[in-house]
């Protein structure tokens, strides 16, 4: 029992000596690190989630107007920024195309290209 206490005390003294021998730089402790003398601000918080939800009518409009781009087939017709397809995409709150994709049935998901649907429409039609 005495040896355990002595070993614990020695271990504590070794750890204490290690921390004294290797000082931490002041930047590691400070909250506002300033590279090149400039203050670095924390990133802006993400926007709050939308209280509006997409509708089935918006889904039907997108499937109809954007069919040439999102449907799985050989030829692709890319939507232009002022097309009816992009107007339908912009009607969705916060351009939340994932919400529209979630409304698709499993049969519809097999008919449409998921990457073009989820990411392509948003990229082509964002202002």
* Sign of the C-alpha dihedral computed for residues 51, 54, 55 and 56 taken in this order: negative
Pick the closest to residue 69 from 47, 46, 82, 85 (CA basis): 85
Residues 8-27: tens digit of each pLDDT: 666 665 665 655 555 555 55
- Give the CB-side neighbour count of residue 20, counting CA atoms within 13 A: 6
Per-residue pLDDT of 36-63, as tens digits, reads: 666 666 676 665 655 568 899 999 999 9
* Separation of alpha carbons 42 and 91, rounded Å: 32
Contact 58, 92 (CB under 8 A): yes
């Amino acid at each position: 029992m005495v040896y355990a206490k002595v070993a614990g005390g020695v271990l504590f003294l070794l750890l204490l000596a290690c921390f004294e021998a290797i000082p931490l730089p002041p930047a590691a402790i400070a909250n506002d690190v300033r590279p090149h003398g400039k203050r670095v601000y924390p990133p802006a918080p993400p926007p709050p989630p939308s209280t509006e939800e997409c509708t089935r009518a918006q889904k039907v409009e997108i499937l109809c107007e954007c069919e040439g781009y999102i449907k799985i087939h050989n030829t692709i017709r890319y939507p232009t920024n002022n097309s009816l397809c992009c107007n339908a995409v912009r009607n969705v709150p916060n351009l939340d195309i994932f919400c529209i994709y979630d409304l698709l049935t499993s049969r519809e998901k097999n008919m449409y290209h998921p990457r073009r649907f989820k990411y392509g429409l948003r990229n082509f039609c964002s202002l």
